[in-house]
Amino acid sequence: MRSVPWWVLFSSLSAPILLVGGWAVSAELQGPAYDPASTTISVLAADGAAGYWVMTSALLALGACHLITACGLRPAAPPGRVALAGGGLSAILLALFPAPRSGGSFDHGVVVAVGFVLLAVWPVLAVRRGPGPRRITPVREAGPGAQATAPLPDRSAPWGLRPAPSTTAAALMWLGGAWFLLALFVLDTAGAAERVITFAQSFWPLVVAFSCFRHMDGDGQRT
């Protein structure tokens, strides 16, 4: 496994901070009439909204962060990196297809749906399968006269790119998507659901990048 450069950690850390900061400042500019629990983030980036420029800038920066992270996340499988980059591009395209203040639009909905799907499948597509950790045989188990053996490093994939964590993350994202649809049409809590799922999707690249940074290669070096 090759190391991830420092700027991948920076871009992946910046993504959730920019997203949360963007919707928080935009909601404040929108005023008390805006209900974050029931109203979606798209309203904040709609044409004519008080915080339009803040939320739009945050989405552009979020998309750029995902693109940068995908470029530098070399330990991840290529299909996953492509999907992550596609999710970032979708966030950027939202600036070109904002939702109207009167309601949703087909173009905006398509971009949102594509972005959600790409960011919900990239954890699985990025999985790297490698051999598990090798067992260390202590001298006392090897018998009298045996030579001491040096510890053998863990050659498995970084934690964030292993099947179990990646599948779990993807499954939770899809459950969040189902919650959003239910909240949008039944529960009237679409804003809360959207914030949870978008934060989760913006946070997972940081988990993967950090696990890659902390992983050790065959020589005991950080990869």
Q: What pLDDT, on the 0 to 100 scale, is given for residue 209? A: 95
Q: How far apart are CA 222 and CA 212, in angstroms?
A: 8
Please write the tens of the pLDDT for every residue from 183-198. Answer: 888 888 888 999 999 9
Look at the pTM and tell me if it is higher than 0.95. no
Q: What pLDDT, on the 0 to 100 scale, is given for residue 154? A: 44
Q: What pLDDT, on the 0 to 100 scale, is given for residue 98? A: 84
Q: What pLDDT, on the 0 to 100 scale, is given for residue 4? A: 86
Q: What pLDDT, on the 0 to 100 scale, is given for residue 134? A: 42
Query: Which SS3 state, helix, strand or coil, does residue 150 take?
Result: coil
Inter-residue long-range contacts of 195-201, CB under 8 Å, 24+ positions, other chains counted: 195/23, 195/36, 195/41, 197/116, 197/173, 198/19, 198/41, 199/16, 199/19, 199/20, 200/169, 200/172, 200/173, 200/176, 201/87, 201/116, 201/119, 201/120, 201/173
Q: How far apart are CA 192 and CA 62, in angstroms?
A: 19
Mean pLDDT rounded to a whole number for the chain: 84
Q: Which residues contact 141 (CB under 8 A, 6 or more apart)?
A: none
Domains of the chain, by residue range, sit at 6-133+153-214
Please write the tens of the pLDDT for every residue from 113-163. Answer: 999 999 999 999 999 865 444 434 344 444 555 454 444 444 578 889 999
